[in-house]
A and B are shown apart, each in its own frame.
Chain A
Amino acid sequence: MYKLFLRSLISVIFLLGFSLNANAEFKVGFVYVGPTGDHGWTYQHDEGRKAVEAAGIKTTYVESVPEGADAERVIRQLAQSGHDLIFTTSFGYMDPTNKVAKDFPNVKFEHATGYKREHSNVATYSARFYEGRTLLGHMAGKMTKTNTIGYIASFPIPEVIRGINAMTLAAQKVNPNIKTKIVWVFTWYDPGKESEAAQALIDQGADIIMQHTDSTAPVQVAEKAGVWSFGQASDMQRFAPKSILTSIIDDWAPYYVERSIAARDGTWKQQDTWHGLKEGMVAMAPYNSVMGDDLVKEVEQLQKDLASGKAHSFTGPIYDQKGNILVAEGAVADDGMLAGMNVYVKGVEGDIPQ
């Protein structure tokens, strides 16, 4: 019996063989934190990947890669298996990306939403999602009846806090009584937790739900409860057709195509990219006509002004929760301040988890 097993084991190994043919074709690799079917963050990155593929460049992806010890192996495997440019699309890949980049100087790395560029072959990129939040804030301030906005937040990092602040500031501008209630879920993707958070916010009187997480669960809860909501990362309209007023869309496709072609043609350079409405990295899904023509026109105008630079999401005077001035009257916050933002503005309830 035992010999039979041994013999078949050996023959199976021989049958399968060890051959591995490497080829020199230009390839781009993507590392995703969630499943490609999350219909949010990862879904949009995968749409970007498909655009690169459509431009005639071969791509590979690995989905649901935990942001722990496994990330380094996956990134290294992509580098080792002949990928020339690798996009790592979550902030938790920051240290692994830089570690692998050190060992593969000929491979280019692009890390999304991080700040470490320890080697000349690492670039970083992110989008000015907060510009979209300003538009949401304007709509939320006009549409709310309870003056309470519910916000599902993932992690207390500057990117998320910027979004909360930008939204609150814009809402206050059109409705001074606005309050922003926040539930921190400490995950990017967990439909169960996100639904619970949405329900908790609705129970506390929020009639507007928005989220800085990746699944479609919050908009679906909002749809059921009959409150307004906004899609995040991709157009989530079909998941909550009545409730969604619009979605902030992360459009990575042009950037991915441009950088892939640059890497292929040898013109790739290290840089820190932070694009917004102007460049189209942040885009808005169609506005729900239920808001009425006037409001839609207002928001469309605001969108144009933000894109042209006529308006800025963080225009003074801006105060923190205690009433200290953060940005003086007439001034706008600079990118340095935005990058390290770690206080709430006045009107946000609660404390940043510390």
Chain B
Amino acid sequence: MEVQLIKIEKRNDLSRSIYFLTPVLAIFLTLFGGGIIFYILGFNPIEALKFFFITPISDLYGLSELLVKATPLCLIAIGLSFCFKSNNWNIGAEGQLIFGGIVGGGVALLFYNHDGFYVLPIIILSGAIGGMLFAMIPAILKTYFNTNEILVSLMLVYVAKLLLDYLVVGPWSNPEGFNFPETRQFSESARMPILFGGLRIHAGIFITLITVFLSWLILYKTYLGFQIKVSGLSLKTAKYAGYKGKTMIIIVFMISGACAGLAGVGEITGPIGQLHRNISPDYGFTAIIVAFLGRLNPVGIIFASLIVALTYLGAETAQIFLQVPKYTGQVFQGMILFFLLGSDYLLFFKIKFLGLKKNEF
């Protein structure tokens, strides 16, 4: 019997523009694949895609909602990019977001009916610190006890969720709320200022933009950023160069956790205005897709967060106008990642057919 031999070889002639164009290609393939799915489901693919990707952002309200949805995704993904670039796999951003929300929300409740310009900054800062401290748990366990940060950070998500459950059902629940599992609505002084009347877009977007800029500065203009990138490319080189690996691991987790915490506090002081069990529809996990779709690059992540946010809005609009099943949004997210990883593989490796050979087994 004869078999075809295949050899997979690493490509060395990678061009930079191709590297950033593959995400665009992945999006087009997703649109195409989505069209086919809509067709199979019995919808007119062009019309369905229009309701999915254009109608949601065809007015000011829709654009504002897109930014409201993209803001936390972008923030978390920026933080994750520090971890992922240095080969630290922080999967628990969701937990860090929730913990940041808990700490920030606790402070907001502490300042209930308390006026003053300082209230909101304190809440935001405490949320960031909360997320940061929570992210240090897997970092310290990894550096000093050699645990696996993927498992530890992931399991801590459940710890944060259960803690939030406990707090909103019990000690922090609204005394006038008939035992419903939610806290009071925060006072005005604890809420993110709204940028335009009637829209939900809030000052949290500035925090995100500043974070993006700072991340770019750190990653591309500082020694720390250089260390992070080198460790990501080759741990041995980093060790040989004498970089302090342990400190760096802790720092990237701290940055990542602080970003997730900021995202959490931005949600509860922004569109939600209180603590309850559903402060995040899994933003922390979706941000992993965003980070990779954006190539772990601050600017790329901005675009990626907008696109992924659009898949959420699109799923809602498509259901309202065409009654397309809501889960198509998740299918689209999955397809984007699938096509991106698929085209990456073909980008970094080439497949060589070596001809037929006799099977010796």
Contacts and interface: CB of A to CB of B under 8 A. Distances in A.
Interface of A: 1-2, 5, 8, 12-13, 15-18, 20, 29, 35, 60-70, 72-74, 76-78, 80-81, 91-92, 94-95, 103, 115, 155-158, 161, 186, 339-340, 342, 352-354
| Interface majority SS (helix, strand, loop, mixed), chain B | helix
Contact of B28 (A8, A18, A64, A94): A8
Interface stretch (B116-124, B177-185, B286-294): B177-185
A63 to B, nearest CB: 5
Nearest to A115: B178
B160 interface: no
B320 A62 contact: yes
A353 B273 CA distance: 24
Contacts of B271: 69, 72
Interface in B16-71: 17-18, 21, 24-25, 28, 31, 46, 49-50, 53-55, 58, 61, 65, 68
23 contacts: A8-B28, A12-B31, A15-B46, A17-B54, A18-B54, A62-B319, A66-B281, A67-B278, A68-B272, A68-B279, A70-B316, A73-B200, A73-B313, A74-B316, A74-B320, A77-B317, A78-B320, A94-B180, A155-B181, A156-B181, A186-B165, A186-B169, A342-B179
A78 B317 CA distance: 9
Given A18-B54, A64-B326, A70-B281, A1 B21 contact: yes
B149 interface: no
Contacts of B179: 156-158, 161, 342, 352
Nearest to A353: B169
B142 interface: no
Contacts of A62: 316, 319-320, 326
In this complex, the member of B53, B267, B278, B313 whose beta carbon has the largest number of chain A beta carbons within 10 angstroms is: B278
A83 to B, nearest CB: 9
Contact of A77 (B46, B182, B273, B316): B316
Contacts of A16: 46, 49-50, 53-54
A73 B200 CA distance: 9
A103 B198 contact: yes
Given A20-B58, A70-B312, A63 B326 contact: yes
Contacts of A155: 169, 180-181
B54 A1 contact: no
A103 B267 CA distance: 22
B323 interface: yes
Given A62-B319, A161-B179, 9 more contacts: A8-B28, A17-B54, A61-B323, A68-B267, A69-B68, A72-B271, A77-B317, A78-B320, A354-B170
B345 interface: no
Contacts of B323: 60-61
Given A5-B21, A73-B316, A186-B169, A158 B178 contact: yes
Closest 9 CB pairs of A and B: A68-B278, A69-B271, A16-B50, A66-B281, A354-B170, A67-B278, A62-B319, A353-B169, A64-B326
A227 to B, nearest CB: 28
A8 to B, nearest CB: 7
Contacts of A73: 65, 68, 200, 313, 316
Nearest to A19: B50
A339 B326 contact: no
Nearest to B274: A95
Contacts of A92: 182, 276, 278
Nearest to A5: B24
A72 B277 CA distance: 16
B189 to A, nearest CB: 19
Contacts of A29: 320
B226 interface: no
